[in-house]
Amino acid sequence: MISKRKRQSLIGQVTSSKMERTVKVKVTRKIAHPLYQKRVNRFKNYLAHVASVVPNDGDIVKICSVRPISKNKRWQISEIISKSKKIGSKS
C-alpha cells in the first residue's frame, strides 16, 4: 500500500518577490504572553520556491515543506489563497 506523506504547510503573506523563482513569505502567529496572557503577534520569514504559480507582493499563499533546494529554501508555494488588492492606483 503506497500512501503519500502529509507535508507540513503554513499560510502567510508574500513580502518580497524580487528574486528569481523565490519569494519571501511572512508567517504570523498569535501566542499568549507568558506573564500577562495577552495575545501578541509573532512572525517569521521563510524563503519559498516558486514553481508553477507566481504570486505578487501582498498575496496570501500556502507554502508546503519540500526537500532542501538551496541553503535557505525548504518551502515551496503550493497555492495562492487570495490576491492582493490595489487601492488608489492611477494608470
Q: Is the pLDDT of residue 89 over 70?
A: no
User: What value does the mean pLDDT take over residues 17-29?
Assistant: 96
- 86 vs 83: CA distance, rounded Å: 10
Quick one: pLDDT at residue 33? Answer: 96
User: What value does the mean pLDDT take over residues 63-83?
Assistant: 96
- Greater confidence, 53 or 42? 42
Q: Cell triple for residue 44? A: 517569521
Rounded to 5 degrees, φ, ψ at 36 are: -95, -10
Of 22-31, 41-50, 78-87, least confident by mean pLDDT is: 78-87
User: What domains lie within the chain, and their CATH numbers?
Assistant: 9-82 (2.40.50.140)
Q: Cell triple for residue 28? A: 504570523
Question: Among 65, 66, 67, 63, which residue's Cα sits nearest to residue 77?
Answer: 63
Quick one: pLDDT at residue 68? Answer: 97
Quick one: pLDDT at residue 83? Answer: 94
